Chain A
């Protein structure tokens, strides 16, 4: 990751959402982006120019644009039409963003479009977040990474966030994943946690 002092940045065409610039690089704000927050509070997954990413819950393409600055290609899945209009605009200006308007709970609808990826990033606030992530790992190469952004209040408002967190890790490990890192995103985001997993298997190279 690129740091200028203690500021996380990405290198690419600016002006996507009026982001501030620093020495010609785009500042990637941890308060705005959960993935940026993960790099501030933990290790996350090092992004590189050879990586292919499946991004679920792409929203307006704000975080997507930063991920695209680092990686080879981002398959960006978003279901709602309003943010999709913005995401399409981002894709027009960035040739490595592939927008897909589809429901992330139904990967069979976009399977013919998505190649094998090195990283699945999931930021869909749904009650069955872990199950959605697992279903989408048909696209993930063996040895690839899964980053799950867990909004505990979307899973069950009445449950203790810590219980939801533990339960999610249990579900992921039962599906064969190895949890590599799990951190809360405080103080940047409340009741949000990030879980980084590795898919079992030997990477083909």
Chain B
């Protein structure tokens, strides 16, 4: 028997499927075909089956079903909790880039107006410098500095939202490495499902693509950490054991991501053990 979108055909007889477009879509999305015995459908069969009147009608009906099915699949894909978080993280990272780029440019501009100005030997944080530029500059430069401040505010608010959302979507991963970094890992993998399928070794170097490919191609030293370097336990670790901490942490993150995908809630027993193991690696135990 061959099952097609319009009905089931066997030995020249056909049982038409009756139902509206929605019912046909559900049928189409649930059918699976044995390819080795598969014979493609044709419109004359469908016409004999009573599913259409002629070729044009066949295509029109099929198109309506396929558009509805595609719309449903798109909707279901975006319904996942990670879909919006992914866009939020990417927006956040792009805002950081824009803010840095604009600040550098504005500072260069400011130095042209103030030939005696230099940032050397001063510990002026970037946002204070931007404020000074806004207050002391007339015209467009002052306004650009003002815009940078606004952007920075929006960025801070977005970072808080990302963190909160990550705690919800990635409870175990966030508990180990913090919401922001967890969300970046998820975005680096392309979503929660792809992240949960990555081996620990890939999670360890996620975000170190250039270094990884340089290693594969020209045998430079392998990267020891990518995005996970942003976590304090990795970047605060002494240089000689940093690779070890990154490896142990990545191992636990791989498990955490799977718990996040398949269970969706924090698992205290796992987190306790994992934290202890990562702490031990940081102290130099457990090679």
Footprint of B on A, CB under 8 Å? 73, 81, 84-85, 87-88, 91-92, 95-101, 107-109, 111-116, 135, 138-139, 157-158
A88 touches B67 (CB 8 A): yes
User: Per a CB cutoff under 8 Å, which of A87, A96, A101 touches B59?
Assistant: A96
Residue from B43, B59, B216, B217 within 8 A of A95 (CB atoms): B59
Taken together as a complex, chains A and B put the C-alpha atoms of A135 and B36 apart, in Å, by 10
What is the CB-to-nearest-CB distance from A80 to chain B, in angstroms, rounded to a whole number? 9
State whether B34 touches A113 (Cβ < 8 A): no
Contact status of A158 and B35, CB under 8 A, knowing A95-B60, A116-B42: no
Q: Which of B1-33 contact A (CB under 8 A)?
A: 3-5, 28, 31-33
B213 to chain A: which residues have CB within 8 Å? 157
Contact of B217 among A88, A91, A158 (CB under 8 A): A158
> Does B77 interact with chain A (Cβ within 8 Å)?
yes
- Identify the 5 closest CB pairs spanning chains A and B, nearest first: A111-B33, A101-B73, A116-B40, A101-B70, A81-B77
Interface size class for chain B? Answer: 20 to 34
- The docked-state distance in angstroms from the alpha carbon of A158 to that of B77 is 34
Query: A99 touches which one: B5, B35, B67 (CB < 8 A)?
Result: B67
Q: A88-B67, A138-B38, A157-B213 are in contact. Are A112 and B59 (CB under 8 A)?
A: no
Q: Which residue of A lies closest to B6 (CB)?
A: A112
Can you list 27 contacts pairing A with B, beta carbon distance less than 8 Å?
Answer: A73-B59, A84-B70, A84-B73, A85-B74, A87-B70, A88-B67, A95-B60, A95-B63, A98-B62, A107-B35, A108-B33, A108-B35, A109-B32, A109-B33, A111-B31, A111-B40, A112-B3, A112-B31, A113-B5, A113-B28, A113-B41, A113-B66, A115-B40, A115-B41, A135-B35, A138-B38, A138-B40
Residues from chain A with a CB closer than 8 A to the CB of B74 are 81, 84-85, 88, 101
Q: How far is the CB of B20 from chain A (nearest CB, A)?
A: 17
CA distance A184 to B31 in the complex (A): 39
Q: Which residue of B lies closest to A141 (CB)?
A: B40
Give a binary string over B47-72; 1 marks a CB under 8 Å from any A CB, 0 the rest: 00000000000011011011101110
**Which residues in B have their C-beta under 8 angstroms from that of A114?**
40-41
Decide yes or no whether B78 CB sits under 8 A from chain A: yes
Complex CA–CA separation, A138 to B28 (angstroms): 19
Which residues of A sit under 8 angstroms from B62, Cβ to Cβ?
A: 98, 113
Q: Specify which of A97, A108, A158 is in contact with B216 (CB 8 Å cutoff).
A: A158
* Bound CA–CA A157/B210 (angstroms): 13
Q: Are A91 and B28 in contact (CB under 8 A)?
A: no
Residues of B within 8 Å of A135, CB to CB, are 35
Distance between Cα atoms of A161 and B5 in the complex (Å): 41
| A112 contacts B60, C-beta separation under 8 Å | no
Docked complex Cα distance between A111 and B2 (Å): 10
Known: A91-B63, A95-B63, A157-B213. A111 touches B38 (CB 8 A): yes
A92 proximity list for chain B (CB < 8 A): 67
A112 x B28 contact (CB < 8 A) = yes
Distance in Å: Cβ of A163 to nearest Cβ of chain B: 16
A152 → chain B closest CB, angstroms: 16
Q: B35–A138 contact, CB under 8 A?
A: yes
Contact B73 A98 (CB under 8 A): no
List residues of chain A with CB within 8 A of the CB of B43: 115
Whether the Cβ atoms of B42 and A115 lie closer than 8 Å is yes
Q: Which residues of B contact A101 (CB under 8 A)?
A: 69-70, 73-74
CA distance A114 to B63 in the complex (A): 11
> Measured between alpha carbons, how far is A99 from B68 in the docked complex, in Å?
10
Nearest CB of B to A6, in Å: 34
Which among B28, B38, B40, B63 has the highest number of chain A CB atoms within 10 Å? B40
Closest to B46 in A: A115
Give Cα distance in the complex from A113 to B4, angstroms.
7
Contacts of B59 in A (CB 8 A): 73, 95-96, 98
CA distance A109 to B69 in the complex (A): 12
Complex Cα–Cα for A22 and B97 (A): 41
Q: Which residues of A contact B217 (CB under 8 A)?
A: 158
> Which residues of the partner chain B approach A158 to less than 8 Å between Cβ atoms?
216-217
Q: Which chain A residue has the least Cβ–Cβ distance from B73? A: A101
List of A residues within 8 angstroms of B66 by Cβ: 91, 98-100, 113
B38 proximity list for chain A (CB < 8 A) = 108, 111, 138
Residue of chain A at shortest CB distance from B36: A138
- Of B70, B74, B78, B217, the most chain A CB neighbours within 10 A belong to B70
Per the bound structure, the CA–CA distance linking A109 and B66 in Å amounts to 13
